[in-house]
Amino acid sequence: MNTVRNLAIIAHVDHGKTTLVDQLLRQSGAFRSNEKVAERVMDNNDLERERGITILAKNCAVAWKGTHINIVDTPGHADFGGEVERALSMVDGVILLIDAVEGPMPQTRFVTQKALARGLLPIVVVNKVDRPSARPDYVVNAAFDLFVKLDASEEQLNFPVVYASGLQAWASLTQGEPGQPWGENLDPLFDTILAHVPPNQGDPDAPLQLQISSLDYSTYVGRIGIGRITQGTLRAGQDVLVMEGADGASSRSRVQQLLTFEGLDRVPAESAGPGDIVLVSGVEGVNIGVTLTDPANPMPLPMLTVDEPTLIMNFCVNTSPFAGKEGKFVTSRQLRDRLWRELESNVALRVRETDEEGIFEVSGRGELHLTILLENLRREGYELAVSKPRVVYHWVDGDRHEPIELLTVDVENAHQGGVMQALGQRRGELVHMESEGHDRTRLDYRIPARGLIGFQNEFLNLTRGTGLMSHIFDGYEPYKGDIESRKNGVLISAESGEVMTYALGKLDDRGRMFVKPQDAVYEGMIVGVHNRDNDIVVNAVRAKQLTNFRVSGKEDAIKVTPPILLTLEYAVEFIEDDELVEITPKSIRLRKRYLKEHERKRASRVGQGEGA
């Protein structure tokens, strides 16, 4: 009897996946009783902890009633779909976690669609049922409707339901009294996993098949491949054939070290069989999607496929006057090497060298996917500049097709009109509208992906920070027409130097600033947002002319409005086609592509000539 079960936990962002995994680890005895454990222990990346989201799929394992259960915690954001698809290739079942208040959300649909398409049988866990506004019956019915829409099989539609509170660490197979715990522990969930997640059916005596689904790196042993053994048995020191699908390249290598998961730890193993999720080191040519198989009887699996990117940005070498002052890695060769290294593990990313020196076209699944990469680069000490994101078009029979997103917004009724007007201007089409209680409404839209570039900040302003928004890629459709770009112009620094309080006081009525007194600026740098729709050149470094006479009064205390705090996401969404975001380990600055005013005028004349 096979005593291994492999399952993934899939859900929309913030529905409680990582918290539930914490509790499963605790109750299965993975931690010592006196061990200090951080919250959301699976989110061990700095960016994941700061943002409260899962970016990378991660593995752990628990033991329950003599069964070894491998658990893969997956990201909820569609931008990290490459991670989700790889994780699902390693498992035989999924826990679909749904918030008891929100119900299925767009990214619930995204991850569920991937799981159902692979033929995986879901266990629906209605999480956070301890919340006062929980509505478990609605959630279960909505999950069933979602499965029907996604063409689930009869077996998939006959899913078990578990009610749970990840935070309070209990689960129940039946509903209880409102406001009271419905269970004592997570035993009902563990037992449901054993009953409904099928064991791996692979033959331990068949030729080896191990597909690499994820990569890790160690300074001691180099690249580590992570994957599930489909059939056969693997031992440390065994010779294997590394194959890129049936028709790709192949090479012989040897497994130096074999590890398996226990709790969050990786422990050495002499051998592993069908269903085991293992880590192998020392294998040359190990990469995502390759199959490690028997050299005498090779049986490669098809390479993993992931959805194509929908968004492109240009990554350029930093050419501003401040270039090289704050970063360790500033050359095009260093940037190129780092991007090529990223491609080895980030399967949803594409990088292309352009004809221009030091400029790379980087394509990803969305703004979050690309800005996470940029944040990692700046933390590693890289300096670079990036352009405005633009969508990837497809050409069908000579017609331009563009990516369409399925957007869901949850807003207070008072803000509904403004949000609907803004989405209408961005070519959004309302497909569904539903009242959420007394004062909130959920709106479903189909909208061009380029209509969502820069919308996040506008949405937060329109809803006073109370709105919820999420979206997923929904296919390609014919071009929907032009969309109005940013309504405001910018304030451009006329000179280089240090920002003066006196100068900012004079500019206060022109717009909101991005800089504060004593910040260093350079000619062509964007220092603020203009109140009107045109760009103007301003002097932010002008000092007050001193005389021999001291004048007392209001001029002594110049009041300056606090600047807009530039985050990476805000900066990338804010810029226009003729602007760049300069990113260094210490600073985020906005600048014009051409720093000199006469260069900008000449470039605009050339652009108008081309458009004529």
C-alpha–C-alpha distance, residues 323 and 191, integer Å? 59
Residue 388, CA distances (Å) to 295, 358, 456, 571 in order: 48, 17, 15, 9
Beta strands in 244-383 (DSSP E): 250-254, 257-262, 265-268, 271-272, 277-281, 291-293, 311-316, 350-353, 359-364
Of 422, 397, 390, nearest to 407 (Cα)?
422
The annotation places the binding site at 14-19, 127-130
C-alpha–C-alpha distance, residues 228 and 209, integer Å? 9
Of 425, 399, 452, nearest to 79 (Cα)?
452
The annotation places the binding site for GTP at 14-19, 127-130
Q: Say which amino acid occupies 369.
A: H
Of 278, 264, 260, 191, nearest to 32 (Cα)?
264
- Segment (H or E) for 570: helix 568-574
Q: Is the dihedral of CA 24, 29, 34, 37 positive or negative?
A: negative
C-alpha–C-alpha distance, residues 383 and 378, integer Å? 7
| 556: CB partners within 8 A, 6+ apart | none
C-alpha–C-alpha distance, residues 390 and 122, integer Å? 36
C-alpha–C-alpha distance, residues 572 and 386, integer Å? 8
C-alpha–C-alpha distance, residues 486 and 5, integer Å? 51
C-alpha–C-alpha distance, residues 555 and 546, integer Å? 12
Are 63 and 69 in contact by the 8 Å Cβ rule? The answer is: yes
C-alpha–C-alpha distance, residues 200 and 120, integer Å? 12
- Segment (H or E) for 81: helix 81-88
C-alpha–C-alpha distance, residues 211 and 293, integer Å? 9
Burial category of 451 from C-beta neighbours within 10 Å (exposed 0-12, middle 13-18, buried 19 and up): buried
**Terminal Cα-to-Cα distance of the chain (whole angstroms):** 74
Are 162 and 188 in contact by the 8 Å Cβ rule? The answer is: yes
Residue 380, CA distances (Å) to 218, 223, 357, 550, 586 in order: 17, 19, 23, 50, 11
Rounded to the nearest 5 degrees, what angle is found at the Cα of 220, between the Cα atoms of 214 and 224?
15
3-state secondary structure of 530: strand
Q: Say which amino acid occupies 468.
A: L
Residues in the chain, how many? 612
Angle between helices 455-462 and 416-425 (to 10 degrees): 160
- Segment (H or E) for 498: strand 497-498
- Segment (H or E) for 211: strand 209-218
DSSP structure string for 137-168: HHHHHHHHHHHHHTT--HHHHS--EEEEETTT
Q: Is the dihedral of CA 497, 503, 505, 510 positive or negative?
A: negative
